[in-house]
């Protein structure tokens, strides 16, 4: 029988050794010496049932780890039981820990039976929660792509906006529109369409960052929830997220039908959390802006639009017309580089020493 997995976080080697002696026989115990290492382990090690974490550590604190867990969009992590270990017996400290989302707390030095009882109780509750999530999962999934559906996106958006409001952080919704997808899938027929949608789901899920979540929010729309991200940062992620439509068979050469891709970037105000569902609906109703709009209004990235290297190659081939159509988008993407180049040249010019002419006086 597989033992429940428990994560114990403390920068003291002695405390980690104590935890190993107390919990090692009954649990699969994972040990971390910092909050940063613990967060990485949570992302990489599935099935952790409960976290015990010291409050004050070198580097980030236990509060930092708690906040990362509570704002995570992964349902397996966001509600994870979290027991804070502290040497402070102050009632105010305990109240603060609970307000931040801690499940429980224990004081140092702790008794063997106290730590073991907490681990046993919360590991059981974690296992029960996991079974409940498995039962609920199908209600939140798009069956074709195995991505979260629109309902799940709304729920996660509310949670993310709540955290962003509490911590004064930005949040972005980025909608990838695959125009023509429905028509093409209908032409391909059922077996091919099912495989294509499953492949789209796998591809998008593999390309997102660990902190992001992607959903299928409409027949031809996939929505990325990007916490702690601004609109300009979201635009830099577009190439990473955009699937290769031709490689996936969504732009067949022998068909009059093909799929074109474009992004719509939306930055909801966390203060409008009560309008989360309406904000999502508004974003899904928006169309990608034209290339002549400023970058702040949104950026279009279509599957057929050349990047810089492709544009240079087209110019070498004498195909200036294809490049000319994409000049506004190319210029926006080059603007930070051009600004840096101008600043560098100006600085170098200011540092160039003046040449002073010396007059040589001849004396007889």
Query: Do 281 and 157 fall into the same domain?
Result: yes
Query: Do 129 and 162 fall into the same domain?
Result: no
Helix axes 308-316, 327-351, angle to 10 degrees: 100
Residues spanned by the domain of 92: 5-138
CB-based contact 61:14 (threshold 8 Å): no
CA distance 293 to 298: 7
- The mean pLDDT of 260-273, rounded to a whole number, is 90
Model confidence band, residue 221 (pLDDT cutoffs 50, 70, 90)? very high
**Cβ-Cβ contacts under 8 Å for 130 (sequence gap 6 or more):** 47, 49, 76
pLDDT of 314 above 90 = no
Model confidence band, residue 360 (pLDDT cutoffs 50, 70, 90)? very low
pLDDT of residue 186: 83
Distances 228 to 26, 182, 232, 320 between C-alpha atoms, Å: 38, 33, 12, 39
Please report, in angstroms and rounded to a whole number, the separation of the first and last CA atoms in the chain: 108
**Cβ-Cβ contacts under 8 Å for 264 (sequence gap 6 or more):** 174, 175, 177, 283, 286, 287, 288, 289, 298
What ranges in 45-180 are assigned the alpha helix state H?
Answer: 62-71, 75-78, 91-99, 112-140, 150-167
pLDDT of residue 153: 92
Closest CA to 161 of 170, 150, 152: 170
Query: Do 38 and 115 fall into the same domain?
Result: yes
Give a yes or no: residue 361 inside a domain: no
pLDDT of 298 above 50 = no
What ranges in the chain are assigned the alpha helix state H?
Answer: 13-23, 35-44, 62-71, 75-78, 91-99, 112-140, 150-167, 181-188, 190-207, 231-236, 238-241, 276-285, 308-316, 320-324, 327-351
Give a yes or no: residue 31 inside a domain: yes
Long-range Cβ pairs for the range 105-112 (8 Å, 24+): 106/52, 108/15, 110/85, 112/22
CB-based contact 243:256 (threshold 8 Å): no
Query: Do 131 and 55 fall into the same domain?
Result: yes
Token output for 121: 């109780």
Query: Do 134 and 164 fall into the same domain?
Result: no
Give a yes or no: residue 252 inside a domain: yes
User: Domain boundary residue among 290, 320, 345?
Assistant: 290
Q: Which of 49-53, 116-120, 123-127 has the lowest mean pLDDT?
A: 123-127
Evaluated on CA atoms 273, 274, 277, 282, the torsion sign reads: negative
Give a yes or no: residue 341 inside a domain: no
- The mean pLDDT of 83-106, rounded to a whole number, is 79
Tokens 């003046």 sit on residue: 354
Give a yes or no: residue 356 inside a domain: no
Query: Do 115 and 164 fall into the same domain?
Result: no
Query: Do 285 and 320 fall into the same domain?
Result: no
Token output for 303: 């599957």
Give a yes or no: residue 143 inside a domain: no
What ranges in 237-307 are assigned the alpha helix state H?
Answer: 238-241, 276-285
Q: What is the CATH number of the domain that holds 27?
A: 3.40.50.2300
Query: Do 31 and 109 fall into the same domain?
Result: yes
Domain count, the chain: 3
Give a yes or no: residue 342 inside a domain: no
Q: What is the CATH number of the domain that holds 285?
A: 3.30.70.270
Q: Is 0.85 surpassed by the pTM of this model?
A: no
Model confidence band, residue 75 (pLDDT cutoffs 50, 70, 90)? confident
Pairing of strands 221-227, 213-218: antiparallel
CB-based contact 12:30 (threshold 8 Å): no
For 159-196, the pLDDT digits (tens) are 899 889 988 899 999 999 998 888 888 887 777 788 88
Phi, psi of 156, rounded to the nearest 5 degrees = -70, -35
Percent of the chain's residues with pLDDT above 90: 29
Query: Do 285 and 183 fall into the same domain?
Result: yes
Give a yes or no: residue 144 inside a domain: no
Query: Do 283 and 315 fall into the same domain?
Result: no
Query: Do 283 and 311 fall into the same domain?
Result: no
Of residues 342 and 311, more confidence is placed in 342
Query: Do 239 and 134 fall into the same domain?
Result: no
Closest CA to 82 of 101, 109, 61: 101
Closest CA to 311 of 326, 291, 300: 326
pLDDT of 355 above 70 = no
- The mean pLDDT of 259-264, rounded to a whole number, is 86
């Amino acid at each position: 029988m597989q033992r429940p997995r428990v994560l114990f976080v403390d920068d003291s080697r002695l405390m980690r050794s104590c935890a190993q002696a107390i919990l090692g026989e009954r649990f699969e115990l994972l040990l971390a010496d910092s909050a940063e290492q613990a967060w990485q382990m949570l992302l990489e090690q599935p099935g952790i049932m409960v976290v015990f974490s010291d409050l004050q550590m070198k580097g980030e604190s236990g509060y930092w780890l708690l906040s990362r867990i509570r704002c995570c969009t992964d349902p397996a992590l966001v509600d994870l039981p979290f027991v804070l270990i502290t040497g402070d017996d102050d009632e105010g400290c305990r109240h603060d820990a609970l307000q931040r989302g801690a499940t429980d707390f224990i004081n140092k030095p702790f008794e063997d039976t106290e730590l073991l009882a907490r681990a046993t109780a919360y590991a059981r509750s974690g296992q029960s929660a996991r079974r409940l999530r498995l039962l609920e999962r199908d209600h939140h999934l798009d069956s074709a792509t195995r991505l979260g559906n629109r309902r799940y996106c709304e729920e996660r958006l509310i949670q993310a906006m709540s955290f962003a409001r509490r911590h004064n952080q930005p949040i972005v919704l980025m909608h990838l529109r695959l125009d023509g997808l429905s028509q093409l899938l209908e032409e391909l027929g059922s077996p091919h369409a099912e495989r294509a949608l499953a492949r789209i789901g796998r591809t998008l899920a593999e390309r997102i960052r660990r902190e992001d979540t992607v959903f299928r929010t409409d027949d031809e729309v996939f929505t990325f929830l990007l916490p702690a991200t601004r609109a300009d940062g979201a635009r830099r992620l577009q190439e990473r997220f955009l699937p290769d439509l031709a490689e996936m068979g969504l732009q067949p050469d022998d068909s009059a039908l093909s799929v074109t891709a474009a992004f719509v970037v939306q930055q909801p105000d966390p203060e409008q959390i009560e309008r989360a569902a309406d904000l999502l609906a508004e974003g899904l109703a928006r169309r990608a802006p034209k290339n002549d709009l400023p970058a702040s209004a949104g950026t279009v990235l279509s599957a057929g639009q050349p990047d810089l290297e492709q544009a240079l190659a087209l110019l070498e081939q004498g195909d200036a017309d294809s490049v000319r159509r994409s000049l506004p988008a190319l210029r926006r993407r080059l603007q930070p580089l051009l600004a840096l180049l101008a600043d560098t040249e100006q600085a170098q010019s200011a540092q160039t020493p003046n040449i002073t002419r010396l007059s040589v006086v001849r004396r007889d």
